[in-house]
Amino acid sequence: MQHPFEKCSAQRARRWFLRLLAGTAVLMALLTVVGMPLGKIHTASGGRCDIVSYEIAGTVDRSGAIVTAWKENGVLPYAKWNTWLDYLFLICYPNAVALGLIILIARPMSGFWQGLGRILAWAQWLVLASDALENAALLHILYRGVSVPWPQLALICASVKFTLLAGGLLGLLILFLLARRSRG
């Protein structure tokens, strides 16, 4: 099934890809800066408190320990800002990957690779949805407290997000190399 991005002209697709890539870079830098104070904190047992550790905590105890450490060290507002800002980021990075895949499969290559690229492009919208749901679970914890099922939901969504994103990035690399080889 054709991806909606395949309906864009090549010029328009490249222009949007560059915009999304720039947005991804700017927001990644901003998220890194906002997240720095979080990563300097450790739980009472010495566990990490960076935003990714929070996303994959997976249990009430681990999530609670991270949020408690953030509260005790006065950096909880940074966690809230980081999570809200991630909603802008999730618009950019999965769409940049999806558009990059669509641009690459428009080049001459076997139907297998085109089909795989198309599937991976569709999967990036699952990355977007997983990240959005993960953020909702994380914000619920930050604003209302830690309880089941929120840490578990965040972990499941983060796992889906990271797995499909890694597949998309690997697909980008492979398709880029195939496209370069066919030009050379």
Domain assignments of the chain as residue spans, ordered by start: 7-183
Confidence of residue 109 (pLDDT cuts 50, 70, 90): confident
pLDDT tens per residue across span 24-73: 999 999 999 999 999 999 999 999 999 999 999 999 999 999 999 999 99
For residue 48, what are the β-bridge partners? 42
By the 8 A CB rule, do 83 and 28 touch?
no
Is pTM beyond 0.85? Reply is: yes
By the 8 A CB rule, do 137 and 154 touch?
yes
CA-to-CA distance for 96 and 17, rounded, in angstroms? 6
Confidence of residue 181 (pLDDT cuts 50, 70, 90): confident
Average pLDDT of every residue of the chain:
96
Place of tokens 């919208």: 125
